[in-house]
Amino acid sequence: MSASKESAGPQPKEYQGKIQPGWREIPRGGMILQAGNAREFETGDWRVTRPVWIPENCIQCLFCWIYCPDAAVLLEDGKVIGFDYAHCKGCGICAHECPGKRGAKAIKMVAESEAEEASQA
Amino acid sequence: MSVKTVAYTGNEAVAQAMKQIHPDVVAAYPITPQTEIVQIFSTFVADGLVDTEFVTVESEHSAMSATVGAAAAGARAMTCTSSQGLALMYEVVYIAASLRLPIVMPVVNRALSGPINIHCDHSDSMGARDSGWIQLFSENAQEAYDNVLQAVRIAEHKDVLLPVMVMMDGFIISHALENVTFLDDETVRRFIGEYRPDYYLLNPDHPITVGAFDLFDYYFEHKRQQVEAMRMAKPVILEVGQEYGRLSGRSYGLFEGYRLEDAELAIVVLGSTAGTAKAVVDGLRREGVKAGLLKLRVFRPFPREELAQALRHVRALAVLDRSDSFGVVGGPLFAEVRAALYDLPERIPTVNYIYGLGGRDIDLEMIGRVYADLAEIARTGRPRELVTYLGVRE
């Protein structure tokens, strides 16, 4: 161990290679003053299995959209068109709730590793 | 402005202060010797004298949680407790301070179990000394009343925004009847003013998040903010203490020096024992002994420079602790006072007396013995014992 030549006094605003605000510049007590910021926090990489949509089995009941805890079911004109994989955590609630068409599910959970292989193939 | 002097117990005086503060929300759970405060305040609610939302909870953990929730929502919120109750609310006590919620909480000092005991010592509030709360100690019921009113102003000051604990000694103050002079309701209302938080959860025009996950990239900065808020609290406490003095005739500082200016032998003490010690000082002064006293009011933020300045001329100093810190040298007050004196050019021989644990009485004779020890230390220049257990049976 050797002593640094630099002082341990006030440090630059760099943290892990990024310039970050200092303690005087952030809201007190950890308050977040902007609403709707969950969008900025991408949780898709937590996923182990991903929901895959099978349009021919979908009756557009929107159960998946209602039950999704992360608002990650994408709609267009009130119809399911797929999933927001940047935010979907892969919990599988959508697939569990999906009634499908005549017993055939419109959402199946696929291991993330297989989904990646399939996309590379 | 009219003032009224009434014989009240400490608990009655604090309940009266709470009635005059008229908080939006009070969530509290009864515990001896604080029970009366909650009980009296709940009758004010039941009788319609206040329109405070009184939340009866199932524990102190819930009391502090409800108070934190109410304060975050934008309410002026209060609770109060003692001993085990403070211990049970512990994790939320830290959260109140780190969320920067200006909650005011009277704490009626009582020994922590075990063995189980309901009487006075300071182990409860000393356990919370690093929780980030401002801590004010009171010598008597009058000071408890005055401190609770001032605590609202200190806590809610825009440079501070920290919760404040107001201490009074269990039974000794809480249950003893004393003359207390009250301000009238209108004067209190004007003094504390209307609470207008800048950010709060029940503001639909500006939705915010409170209590979000705070990782290694921001947590440290938020702790640094708390350090700054404590630093800013000191001038605010002084300013509010002066303003309160103009209103009531009773000014408050960080501590009170009693015959201290020319004292050679001095003690530092918290709470009701200061009253007993003042009588000893008066007796010694009549005998020509230059005895003095420093009664600390503000334990957090600890007034390091001011305290060292006020004590620098004494020849021997004793610090009286009504709680102990096991495995170190002396009690928590001793550690702070000694650290504060470290930067003085001349070293003052300083010793510690642990006294009054679990409500053990301290009397004039015992404090007289402390001054006798100090006279000996001043003569020889060095103490025989660093820490003495005052009044324990050998």
CATH architecture of B255-390: 3-Layer(aba) Sandwich (3.40)
Give A53 to chain B, closest Cα distance, Å.
Answer: 33
Give A-chain residues touching B211 at CB under 8 angstroms: 30
Determine, for residues A35 and B161 on separate chains, whether the beta-carbon distance falls below 8 Å.
no
Asked if pLDDT for residue A115 goes beyond 90, the answer is: no
> Tell me, what's the pLDDT at B220?
96
Taking contacts as CB-CB distances below 8 angstroms, the residues of chain A near B101 are: 29
A42-120 topology per CATH: Alpha-Beta Plaits (3.30.70)
* CATH hierarchy code of domain B3-248: 3.40.50.970
Q: How many CB pairs under 8 A join A and B?
A: 51
pLDDT at residue B196, as a whole number:
96
pLDDT at position A5: 81
CA atoms of A62 and A79, how far apart (whole Å): 8
Q: Which residue of B has its CA nearest to A25?
A: B221
Residue in chain B nearest A29 by alpha carbon: B99
Quick one: pLDDT at residue B85? Answer: 98
For residue A23, the distance in angstroms to the closest alpha carbon of chain B comes to 5
The lowest-confidence range among A3-12, A94-103, B13-22, B241-250 is A3-12
Residue A121: pLDDT band by 50, 70, 90 thresholds? low
A26/chain B closest Cα distance in angstroms: 8
pLDDT tens across A36-76, in order? Answer: 888 888 999 999 999 999 999 999 999 999 999 999 999 99
**Chain A residue with minimum CA distance to B94:** A29
pLDDT band at residue A24 using 50, 70 and 90 as cut-offs: very high
What pLDDT was estimated at residue B118? 98
Same fold, B3-248 and B255-390: yes
Cis upstream peptide for B345 (omega within 30°): no
Domain ranges for chain B: 3-248, 255-390
CB spacing of B100 vs A22 below 8 angstroms: no
Question: What span, in angstroms and rounded, lies between the C-alpha atoms of B340 and B239?
Answer: 23
B210 at the A interface (CB within 8 A)?
A: yes
Per-residue confidence (pLDDT) for residue B1, from 0 to 100: 60
Chain A residues with CB under 8 Å of a chain B CB are 15-16, 20-23, 26-33, 35, 37
What residues of B are in contact with residue A26 (Cβ under 8 Å)?
A: 218, 221-222, 225
Q: How confident is the model at residue A1 (pLDDT cuts 50, 70, 90)?
A: low
Tens digit of pLDDT for each residue in A80-93?
Answer: 999 999 999 999 99
In angstroms, rounded to a whole number, what is the distance separating the alpha carbons of residues A105 and A55? 10
- Residues of A whose CB is below 8 A from B212: 30, 32
Residue of A nearest to B159 (CA): A28
Position B254 scores a pLDDT of 98
> Model ipTM?
0.89
* Ranges under pLDDT 70 in chain B: 1-2
Using a cut of 0.80, tell me whether the model's pTM lies above it.
yes
